[in-house]
Amino acid sequence: MISHCTQLGSGQRHILALHCTLAHGGVWGRLARHLAGIQLTAMDLPAHGRSPDWDPALDFHDQATAMARALFSEPMDLLGHSFGATVALRLAAERPHMVRSLTLIEPVFFAPALADTPQRVHDHDREIAMFTQGMQSGDFESAARGFNRVWGDGTKWADFPQATRDYMIKRIHVVPASAPALFDDRAGLMTPGRLEGITAPCLLIEGDQSPDVVDAVNSALARRLPKVQRAVIKGAGHMAPITHPDAVAQVLTRFLDQAQEPVDLRAGH
């Protein structure tokens, strides 16, 4: 399966950018405009943007990773947001020698948080109840609305254009399809030594308005990744690359320039 890609920006430094669920590669455009000397290859996930549909008989995370892996043929920087960040993390674990740097914006890899602080993940079940109930009842619009309420950019459902709502409703099935990889660690990233074997500098980004479970995930990953820094985007929620592209670009640029030495990257402080 060959993915559709959008080339954003220009420069000598090459980043493979992997977007969140229910979006498409073009959403990196706002961030790219704030980055100098950097070219982003922004891939559309399976069933997103202009990429081919996914095969429900196969694992969604496997398909997404396979499409991204085909683009990861030379040493480069990896950048991922939400679900896309979990794919970037998996690529880095598979080919640590190919990773110049790894930036994960609000990765939704819940397995390490379940291992370390399970109650914080279970508390999130109540936040996402509207999504869960919608999926169980077959009310996929309600599911998409509930998902967006927790993991969106703050835009109310009624304020989205109908085409945008239809886009999210059509793809909401990929969220439960991702659960085996994100909650149960189907890809085996928690196997001792795998995350610890990612020796490239890693930056974990989160918004200070994001669900508590995001901090739980990033804290758990920070305990395992050997060269890690953290950044908090003041005033931002889960969709920080879209809502706060300038602040994200600031911490990303500083990280890429100074990745060898730990620095305080808390934007807005």
In terms of pTM, does the model score above 0.75? Answer: yes
Q: In the chain, which residue ranges form alpha helices assigned H by DSSP? A: 29-32, 60-69, 83-94, 111-116, 118-127, 129-137, 140-151, 162-171, 174-177, 179-182, 212-222, 240-243, 245-258
Q: Is the pLDDT of residue 265 over 70?
A: no
Task: Report d(CA 267, CA 246) in Å as an integer.
Answer: 10
pLDDT band at 259, cuts 50/70/90?
A: low
Exposure b/e, 143-171, CB count within 10 A at least 16 = b: bbbbbbebbbeeeebeebeeeebebbbeb
What number is the average pLDDT over the span 76-95?
A: 97
Q: Is the pLDDT of residue 267 over 70?
A: no
* Cβ atoms of residues 115 and 184 within 8 Å: no
pLDDT 10s digits, 15-49: 999 999 999 999 999 999 999 999 999 999 999 99
**pLDDT value at residue 202:** 97
Task: Report d(CA 144, CA 104) in Å as an integer.
Answer: 24
Task: Report d(CA 175, CA 131) in Å as an integer.
Answer: 10
What is the number of alpha carbons within 13 Å of residue 42 lying toward its C-beta? Answer: 24
Question: Distance of CA 146 to CAs 19, 25, 64, 112, 174, Å?
Answer: 20, 23, 24, 24, 15
What number is the average pLDDT over the span 45-56?
A: 91
What are the backbone dihedrals phi and psi of residue 99, each rounded to the nearest 5 degrees, phi first?
Answer: -95, 120
pLDDT above 70 as % of the chain: 96
Closest of 15, 21, 72 to residue 255, by C-alpha: 15
Task: Report d(CA 20, CA 87) in Å as an integer.
Answer: 10
**pLDDT value at residue 113:** 98
Mean residue pLDDT across the chain: 94
**pLDDT value at residue 1:** 67
Q: Where are the domains of the chain?
A: 5-117+178-258
Query: Rounded to 5 degrees, what angle do the CA atoms 18, 39, 7 make?
Result: 65
Task: Report d(CA 69, CA 10) in Å as an integer.
Answer: 22
Exposure b/e, 80-109, CB count within 10 A at least 16 = b: bbbbbbbbbbbbbbbeeeebebbbbbbbbb
At which residue do the structure tokens 């509930």 appear? 146
pLDDT 10s digits, 174-223: 999 999 999 999 999 999 999 999 999 999 999 999 999 999 999 999 99
**pLDDT value at residue 55:** 85
CATH of segment(s) 5-117+178-258: 3.40.50.1820
pLDDT 10s digits, 126-137: 999 999 999 999
Q: Is the pLDDT of residue 264 over 70?
A: no
* Cβ atoms of residues 209 and 181 within 8 Å: no
Query: Rounded to 5 degrees, what angle do the CA atoms 250, 254, 255 make?
Result: 115
pLDDT 10s digits, 93-110: 999 999 999 999 999 999
What number is the average pLDDT over the span 74-88?
A: 96
Question: Distance of CA 40 to CAs 18, 51, 56, 149, 227, Å?
Answer: 10, 17, 29, 29, 23
For the ranges 2-6, 66-70, 84-88, 238-242, the lowest mean pLDDT is seen at: 2-6
* Cβ atoms of residues 50 and 3 within 8 Å: no
**pLDDT value at residue 58:** 87
Task: Report d(CA 211, CA 129) in Å as an integer.
Answer: 14
Closest of 26, 178, 36 to residue 109, by C-alpha: 178
**pLDDT value at residue 51:** 94
